[in-house]
Structure 1
Amino acid sequence: MERSRRKEIEHHLTEEEIDELLREAEDDHHLRRLGFLKNLYRGDSIPEAADREGRSAATGGRWADAWNEDGLEGLMPSFGGGRPPKLDEDEQDELVEMLRDGQPWKSQEIQHLLQEEFGVSYSPNYLGTFLRKLGLSYAKPRPKRPHRPENPDEILEERVDDALDEDDQPHNKREGEDEEGWIVEDDICTDGGTVLGFFDASKPQPYDNSRRVWYVDDPHIERELVKTHDSAVGFYALNGESLVTFTENEEKEQICGVLEKIREQNPGKRILLVLDKHGSHRCKHTRKRAHQLGIDLIFIPSGSPHLNPIEQVWKYLKWTMAPIVVESEAEFK
């Protein structure tokens, strides 16, 4: 809708000329389109101007594009002669609402819908053009994560608030677990404030191909591929010292080793560490070791990686590294 409001409307005619055309109009088709144009001239957004004439925002968008590109001739096609469209404007609006309710659709499903509801069919070669004119887009659907809760942002915010409310109970300890070992080490100090950061692991490769390149014949790269089997593990601190290191794997012992490095980088403060529910992150061994280091773990809701900003850091690093040529794994690290 915001894009529609910002669309520049060409002034091919004066408002007085539009008023004269409105007085001379003899059918509803012309009256609606000229009325829509008059509404735009008076400052309406495209959806508002279309709604005043009983038309959808999508129809208004098509009318505005036709006016901008071809003026009055584009906005006011001949409705008398020539082959009429298979669906009139009202039917097209009805079709868009049907498609909105059941989206996304395959082309074959839309063909079936057109035949069942309107008794018409379109050539497969033309169907895409027709649907784009109606304002539809054609793209791969993004899968919806089935385990993601309805309000992951609110859940994470509540978990952070709970962690900030310090009490005598170990934050990482679960109800029913034994008491042994849930003690912060004597040399760990946590009364100097709080560090908040995000934790994650990734497996970047020197040959990640995430950037476009210029080429004359064939866009392939002829060089030996340098590989690494190690994981990059990162701590993205919002108000402390961040850390990136490599580990042989992502098992609990390796993860705890990284937690120890994070503690070394951020001494004297309590650490709130936001991370996903990977098995090595939420196991008792890791949770207990984190508590001993004065690190409280806050787990992101299932299926919500978008809440961890370090995911975007990994993506940027992979994009940045893509054009860099390295000769060895050590050079890559």
Structure 2
Amino acid sequence: MSGERRKEITYHLSEEEIDELLREAEDDRRKGRFGFLKNLYYGDSIAEAADREGRSAATGRRWADAWNEGGLEGLMPSFGGGRPPKLDEDEQEELLEMLRDGQPWKSQEIQHLLKDEFGVEYHPDYLGKFLRDLGLSYAKPRPKRPHRPENPEEILDERVADALDEDDGPHNREEGDDEEGWTVDDDVCTDGGTVLGFFDASQPQPYDNSRRVWYVDDPHVERPLVKTEESAVGFYALNGESTVRWKETEEKERICEVLEAVREQNPGKRILLVLDKHGSHVCEYTRKRAHQLGIDLIFLPSGSPHLNPIEQVWKYLKWTMAPIIVEDEDEFHELVKDVFDQVTQRISFAKDWCQKFLNLQKFP
């Protein structure tokens, strides 16, 4: 990240709520402010976030201060709508009961309900604040993952603590594993400190169309139909060297090749590597090879990808790169590597994770 360091931003809304506001905004002035917020949430400095929306750093600082102090109402001036009328306490309770009985609701449906039942209209930019004040939640209705435990954060906290408390035995050896081969390679040194990072595979494609761009005429891009079948397997290091490798499959042999690259990029140190329980990750072959490389694996609880910060790295990488035009698959592979290297310079994607799970007094 270059230029001015980003100031602390208050998270009045979730990222999903900002995305929804962006989709519903019809006024370019509102779109610019919502886009500015999204950039800040992704880790831009104020100057960077404002520049992406064609605004000066001074404007960005003013917007950030207004947002921190007043939330959505402070950031969004009244572009002609004015303050909506308020319902009294009895009417609010009546509305809440209606919403509870008919949930879930779309914003437009609630607007119609307010007008039909109470004769009032709320400006779209302020409806969300009003509903949150009533105690409503605004999120995508997602089915609960059937294999996710009730306490995934507690489980992960214990696993991180276990990994930090080094003992004489192989950390990732399990009962029933073959006793042979659980020794660290002779040329591997792990006494120079500890590197912590996050591991995962993704399949970005060069035709992602999730980001809006400016056009003078017809909004389309002519591009060759390039597609890659390979997976990008990445290591997002907090205090070491990140790396990404393209692999034709995610089989255990290919995963171990990436672990070897992680070791090569981070010599002389013990490596703690957080990853999900994909079959090629938890098998004895991979766990043993990781131990030989001086890498201790910390497995996430089942069905808990939200506890792996590299998921946010992939999401931001795809959003940053879209839309792009490439000539062939090789060019796209190199572009992903370059962007991954840039994105993983930021540790902001793992800030909350560190606060929840990392005991800095124990971390070497």
Q: Is the 2:230–2:246 contact (alpha carbons within 8 Å) kept by the matching residues of 1?
A: yes
Counterpart Cα distance in 1 of 2:91 and 2:119: 17
Partner of 1:312: 312
**Shift of residue 123 of structure 1?**
8.1
Q: 2:116 and 2:285 mapped to 1: Cα distance? A: 61
Structure 1: which 5+ residue stretches go unaligned? 4-64, 76-86, 112-121
Q: Residue 105 of structure 1 corresponds to which residue in structure 2?
A: 104
Is 1:145–1:303's contact at 8 Å kept on the other side of the alignment?
no
Q: CA offsets, 1:44-93, max 9 Å, x none? A: xxxxxxxxxxxxxxxxxxxxx9xx9579xx67xxxxxxxxxxx9963651
Aligned-pair CA distance for 1:127: 7.1
Distance 2:298 2:210 in 1: 31
* 2:175 aligned with 1:170: no
Percent of residue pairs bearing the same amino acid type: 69
1:228 corresponds to which letter in structure 2?
T
| Alignment of 1:142 onto 2:141 | yes
In structure 2, what is the Cα distance between the partners aligned to 1:70 and 1:331? Answer: 52
SS of 1:274's partner is: strand
In the alignment, which residue of structure 2 is the partner of 1:115?
none
Map 1:34-49 → 2, pairs under 5 A: none
Inter-partner Cα distance in structure 2 for 1:306 and 1:220: 34
Q: C-alpha deviations, 1:257-308, integer Å up to 9, x for none?
A: 0001111111111111000111111111111111111111101112222221
Q: Any unmatched runs of 5+ in structure 2?
A: 1-10, 13-77, 334-364
TM-score w.r.t. length of structure 2? 0.58
User: Contact between 1:271 and 1:295, CA under 8 Å: does it hold in 2?
Assistant: yes
Contact 2:241/2:266, CA 8 A, preserved across alignment:
yes
Rounded to whole Å, the distance in 2 between the matches of 1:183 and 1:208 is 44
Shift of residue 218, structure 1, vs aligned partner: 4.5
Taking a change above 3 Å as real, the CA distance of residues 103 and 312 of structure 1, as seen in their structure-2 partners, is farther
**Residues 1:247 and 2:247 aligned together:** yes
Distance 2:331 2:155 in 1: 41
- State the partner residue of 1:198: 198
Q: How big is the shift at 1:256? A: 0.4
- Inter-partner Cα distance in structure 2 for 1:271 and 1:184: 13
User: Is 1:234 aligned with 2:237?
Assistant: no
Which amino acid letter does the alignment assign opposite residue 320 of structure 1?
Answer: T
Alignment CA distance shift 1:138-1:172 (3 Å):
closer
- Name the TM-score, length of structure 1 as normaliser: 0.63
Corresponding position of 1:328: 328
Letter in 2 for 1:219: P
Higher alpha-carbon deviation: 187-196 or 198-207: 187-196
1:93 is matched with: 93
Q: What is the CA deviation profile of residues 9-37 of structure 1, one whole-angstrom value per residue up to 9, with x for unaligned ones?
A: xxxxxxxxxxxxxxxxxxxxxxxxxxxxx
Indicate if the aligned counterparts of 1:190 and 1:270 stay in contact, CA closer than 8 A: yes
Matched, 1:182 2:177: no
The answer (yes or no) to whether the contact 2:247–2:254 under 8 Å persists in 1 is yes
> Aligned partner of 1:300: which letter?
L
- Cα distance, 1:278–1:88 mapped onto 2, change above 3 Å: same
* Alpha-carbon spacing, 1:279–1:125, altered in 2? closer, same or farther (3 Å): farther
Name the CA shift for 1:258/1:129 in 2 (closer, same or farther; >3 Å): farther
Question: What amino acid sits opposite 1:142 in the alignment?
Answer: P
Report the 3-state secondary structure (helix = DSSP H, G, I; strand = E; otherwise coil) of the residue aligned with 1:189.
coil
**CA RMSD, aligned part only?**
3.6
Aligned-partner residue type, residue 312 of structure 1? Q
CA contact under 8 A between 2:255 and 2:281: conserved in structure 1? yes
Pair member with larger Rg: 1
Structure 2 letter corresponding to 1:315: K
After alignment, is 241-250 or 208-217 more displaced?
Answer: 208-217
What are the Cα deviations for residues 131-183 of structure 1, in whole angstroms up to 9, with x where unaligned?
97794489773304333333322321211110111112211111122212212
Q: CA deviation at 1:214?
A: 2.9
Residue 178 of structure 1 aligns to a residue in which SS? coil
Distance 1:171 1:212 in 2: 46
- Figure out how many residues of one structure are paired with residues of the other and give that number: 243
C-alpha displacement of 1:319:
1.7
- 1:270 matched to 2:246? The reply is no
SS at match of 1:199: strand
The answer as to whether partners of 2:203 and 2:232 remain within 8 angstroms in 1 is yes
Partners of 2:276 and 2:253 in 1: CA distance: 17
What is the CA–CA distance in structure 1 between the aligned matches of 2:317 and 2:154, rounded to whole Å? Answer: 29
Q: What does residue 225 of structure 1 align with?
A: 225
What is the SS of the residue equivalent to 2:199?
Answer: strand
> In structure 1, how many angstroms separate the alpha carbons of the residues matched to 2:187 and 2:137?
59
Q: How does 1:279-298 map to 2 (within 5 A)?
A: 279-298=279-298
Q: Tell me, yes or no, if the aligned pair for 1:195 and 1:269 is still in contact at 8 Å.
A: yes
Runs of 4+ aligned structure 1 residues displaced above 6 Å come to 122-125, 127-134, 137-140
> Secondary structure at the residue paired with 2:273?
strand
1:56-75 → structure 2 map (5 Å cutoff): 69=82
For 1:153, the equivalent position in structure 2 comes to: 153
In structure 2, C-alpha distance between the alignment counterparts of 1:148 and 1:222, rounded to whole Å: 43
Which shows bigger deviation, 203-212 or 127-136?
Answer: 127-136
User: In 2, are the aligned partners of 1:104 and 1:141 still within 8 Å (CA)?
Assistant: no
Mean Cα displacement is larger for which, 134-143 or 188-197?
134-143
The 1:323/1:106 distance shift into structure 2, 3 A limit, reads closer
